[in-house]
């Protein structure tokens, strides 16, 4: 039964991590630039995934990671 308990603890940890990353919001400009110091370059990937947008928006870190 130890394997089942380990798996359950692992899944609880994964759920907590996903919930935390879902609460971290990142601002995006209309050209998919993240106006934060040391932010990664995400323009090409976001443009390919979302197409063009008219105005800035926010997205969760979890959404950005996929």
Segment 26-60, tens digit of pLDDT: 999 999 999 999 988 889 988 898 889 899 999 88
Query: Is residue 39 a contact partner of residue 64, using CB atoms and an 8 Å limit?
Result: no
Strands 57-60 and 25-28: antiparallel
What pLDDT sits at residue 61?
86
For 25, the domain range is: 2-65
Q: List, for residues 3-18, the tens digit of each pLDDT value.
A: 989 999 999 999 999 9
- Report the candidate in 15, 18, 24, 29 with the shortest Cα–Cα distance to residue 60: 24
Q: Say which residues have a Cβ less than 8 Å from residue 23's Cβ, sequence separation at least 6.
A: 60
Position 25 confidence tier, pLDDT thresholds 50, 70, 90: very high
Work out how many domains the chain is built from and give that number: 1
What pLDDT sits at residue 65?
80
What pLDDT sits at residue 64?
81
Cα 9 versus chain centre, distance? 23
């Amino acid at each position: 039964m130890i394997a089942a308990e380990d798996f359950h603890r692992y899944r609880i940890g994964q759920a907590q991590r996903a919930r935390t990353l879902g609460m971290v919001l990142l601002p995006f400009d209309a050209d998919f630039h993240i106006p934060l110091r040391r932010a990664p370059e995400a323009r090409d990937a976001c443009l390919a995934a979302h197409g063009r947008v008219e105005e800035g928006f926010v997205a969760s870190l979890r959404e950005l990671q996929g």
